[in-house]
Amino acid sequence: MGSCISYHFTREVIGFQPMAQVITIDGSLIEYSVPTNVSQVLDKEYSTSFLCNSDELYFDERIPELGYDHELVELGQIYFMLPRSMLDQPVTRDDMAALAVKACLAFVGALEKRESLTASEIEFCRYMTQDRLT
């Protein structure tokens, strides 16, 4: 995780508008202007995937699925697109670590394109590495 937070970050990017951020199953970061519906994000992947709010992931608890008509309205909020096979399973430490790594790698990919990360991306990396993995 150190590589995720070792870059020099700018907390604000001039001209950047916060968006709902979705980390896909393959680890890419897709940003959506809000409001947007879960149905628009999942589109054809609805039968094999679901969307969850990163703030609602807890050890040993099932991942709450955002409903198909749920609107993503929180600017800067981070969401995960996950395989449906994870829906009935409790989140393990390994799952949480894998999601944290996937998110940080997605943010680093975004960093290469944008030249800086948003405050929510930085905070997410810190939160996932310090509060949940120790």
Query: Is the pTM for the entire model greater than 0.85?
Result: no
Instruction: Count the domains in the chain.
Output: 1
DSSP 62: B
Q: Return the SS3 of 48.
A: coil
Query: pLDDT digits over 7-42, tens only?
Result: 333 334 444 556 888 999 999 888 888 788 898 888
- Structural domain including 20 reads 2-131
- Residue 112: what pLDDT? 65
Domain at 71, CATH number = 3.10.20.30
Across the chain, mean pLDDT equals: 77
Backbone torsions φ then ψ of 118, nearest 5 degrees:
-80, 165
Distance, in Å, from the CA atom of 11 to the CA atom of 116, rounded to the nearest integer, reads 8
Distance, in Å, from the CA atom of 65 to the CA atom of 87, rounded to the nearest integer, reads 7
- Residue 17: what pLDDT? 58
- Residue 33: what pLDDT? 80
Query: pLDDT digits over 90-127, tens only?
Result: 999 999 999 999 998 888 777 666 655 666 666 766 66
